[in-house]
Amino acid sequence: MRIGELASSTGVSVRALRYYEEQGLLASTRSNGGQRHYGDAAADRVHLIQMLYAAGLSSRTILDLLPCVDAKVSTPQSRALLNAERARIDEQITRLVQARDRLDAVIAHSQSSASGCTTADAAAVAA
Amino acid sequence: MRIGELASSTGVSVRALRYYEEQGLLASTRSNGGQRHYGDAAADRVHLIQMLYAAGLSSRTILDLLPCVDAKVSTPQSRALLNAERARIDEQITRLVQARDRLDAVIAHSQSSASGCTTADAAAVAA
DNA sequence: CTGGAACCTGACGCTGACGTTAGAGGCAAG
DNA sequence: CTTGCCTCTAACGTCAGCGTCAGGTTCCAG
């Protein structure tokens, strides 16, 4: 499949895919004319990359991490790397939960002091 | 208290505090000479701002949110805003947990298959 | 009153993950 | 062979949250 198809099937922009390749995160074979071709596994790889980006990892960190994911072998270094990143994600989750709790407190106060709590409000809360 | 003291007591840089003020997130009174002075509540405010930043909110969103936090009154709009941001944080937490699970799977696989650990692999990981 | 630390206002720099032209070439259909 | 869409590289633009430097001012201890 070519880059446009991979882009639309993954929901990632063509530019981003080229950027991933530039960063060494995503490989491609080239046609005679130089156009990128991808196998079926590429979509999964892109999803994984996206997920790690969403977890706040930098492309550099992902670059370090991906060989650990690909490799069937495991080194102390790779395990350490994986665990370190896991810990960082954990920490981020903790901070997010704290922030959410803080917002919840504000919301609770906001609603208790709301004299007229209409149906629209209930809908907003449910959403 | 002056800006340096607030900075060191909150662990936030002086530059960041000025930036917060520039963004309308943090108020200060000024001395005759133009120097910023802060009350005791400022530290809490800074911590809250930091927490919201850590939750991935933009300064613009925080700017919208803070009046809701400050206000003793609650409007449908403010409640909707609070709930929307809560939802976004929730979503982010979900994605982070997914990423963590994904990493956990990799880690589990990595540890079960930890047998042949060559120097080449270590070098590849280090690189 | 004076020296030096702390503060002030610009304003440019930086990083990361792309967006966005621009100009040129590849590729399948008719 | 041509049309037209897709793709290519190269390179500049963007945005947020500050870091940092420059040049000047304020404050307070001694």
pLDDT digit string (tens) for A9-43? 999 999 999 999 999 999 999 999 999 999 999 99
Q: Which residues of A10-37 are buried (b: 16+ CB within 10 A; e: fewer)?
A: bebeeebbeebeeeebbebeeeeeeebe
pLDDT band at A123 (very low <50, low <70, confident <90, very high): very low
Phi and psi at residue B2, in whole multiples of 5°?
-90, 175
Is the CB of residue A3 inside 7 Å of nucleic acid strand D? Answer: yes
Least confident of A55-59, A92-96, A118-122, B48-52: A118-122
pLDDT of res. B127: 27
- pLDDT tens digits, one per residue of B89-110: 998 899 999 999 988 988 888 7
> How is chain A split into domains, by residue range?
3-113
**Nucleotide nearest A8, from its CA to each C1':** D6
Pick the most confident of A77-81, A86-90, A113-117.
Answer: A86-90
Q: Could you tell me if A30 and A36 are in contact, meaning their C-beta atoms sit under 8 angstroms apart? A: yes
Q: Could you tell me if A23 and A63 are in contact, meaning their C-beta atoms sit under 8 angstroms apart? A: yes
Q: Could you tell me if A50 and A12 are in contact, meaning their C-beta atoms sit under 8 angstroms apart? A: yes
- The SS3 assignment for A124 reads helix
DSSP designation for A2: B
pLDDT of res. B19: 97
**Nucleotide nearest B17, from its CA to each C1':** D18
Residue B76 has pLDDT above 90, yes or no: no
Q: To which H or E segment does residue B11 belong?
A: none
**DSSP code per residue over A33-91:** TS-EE--THHHHHHHHHHHHHHTT--HHHHHHHHHHHH-SS--HHHHHHHHHHHHHHHH
Provide, rounded to the nearest whole percent, the portion of chain A with pLDDT above 70. 87
Query: A81: closest CA among B126, B96, B113, B98?
Result: B126
- The SS3 assignment for B2 reads strand
Residue B38 has pLDDT above 90, yes or no: yes
Take residue A76 and report the two structure tokens written for it: 């102390």
SS3 content of chain A, % helix, strand, coil (to 5): 70, 5, 25
Q: Of chain A residues 5-24, which have a beta carbon within 7 Å of strand C?
A: 13, 15-16, 19, 23
Is the CB of residue A26 inside 7 Å of nucleic acid strand D? Answer: no
Take residue A114 and report the two structure tokens written for it: 């709301």
Query: What's the CATH fold of domain A3-113?
Result: Multidrug-efflux Transporter Regulator; Chain: A; Domain 2 (1.10.1660)
Query: What's the CATH fold of domain B3-111?
Result: Multidrug-efflux Transporter Regulator; Chain: A; Domain 2 (1.10.1660)
How many interchain CB pairs under 8 A, A with B?
A: 135
Residue B114 has pLDDT above 90, yes or no: no
Q: How far apart are CA A59 and CA A57, in angstroms?
A: 7
Place of tokens 């696989």: B109
Q: How far is the CA of A29 from the C1' of C30 (A)?
A: 30
Residue B124 has pLDDT above 60, yes or no: no
Chain A residue numbers touching B78 (CB-CB < 8 A): 110
Q: How far apart are CA B96 and CA A96, in angstroms?
A: 10
Residue A100 Cα to chain centre, angstroms: 20
